[in-house]
Amino acid sequence: MTDEEQLITILQASPRMVHVLHIARDLNLPDWMIFSGAVYQTAWNAITRRDIDYGIKDFDLAYFEADTSWKAEDDVIQWVRDTFASPFDEMVEVRNQARVHLWFEEKFGEPYEPLTRTQDALTRFVSPTFAVGARLKDDGGITIIAPFGLRDVFDMVIRPNPFRPQAKGFARAAASALERWPEARIAD
């Protein structure tokens, strides 16, 4: 079984992940995916034999819409919140990736070039381990998007993104992951 097939099997074993993927697909947001924490953390739970939903704080729902106005994104945020029932209405965090460059530097102290599609956001995450997304297809299959591959996910290795080796958020993100999954390790 390939790493991608293994991750798909793991994600399918999480009723919460499946639920979020189904509703996200039905929302039909442009160029959407669920990425980062809820994806790699579900894998880590399977690897460490924890409850499949252990430690998962939220589901990051990304999409890409050319309208970069705050109102357009806020309308989507409200619509998604209204679509998901509790507790998911508070757990699904939706963001237009076309807008990230507008606020990223002020919030994180680093420049952020505009993106052209959601998938490109994955190459900007502080670690390749966090740079993984999933999308539910119309036929029920799951597509995995992982520009750095999945080996670090399955090896539970957190290393700096080679494109952002000095990312200011790396230490904080790694510490948060290690607090919940002490089996993981940081590599250079």
The pLDDT tens digits of the residues spanning 79-131 come to 999 999 999 999 999 999 999 999 999 998 888 999 999 999 999 999 999 99
Residues of the chain with pLDDT under 70: none
Alpha carbon distance, N-terminus to C-terminus of the chain: 28
Strand segments, DSSP code E, in 32-171 are 33-35, 59-63, 92-96, 133-136, 142-145, 157-158
Per-residue pLDDT, 41: 98
Could you confirm whether domain 3-186 is CATH 3.30.460.10? Answer: yes
DSSP-assigned beta bridge partners for residue 94: 61
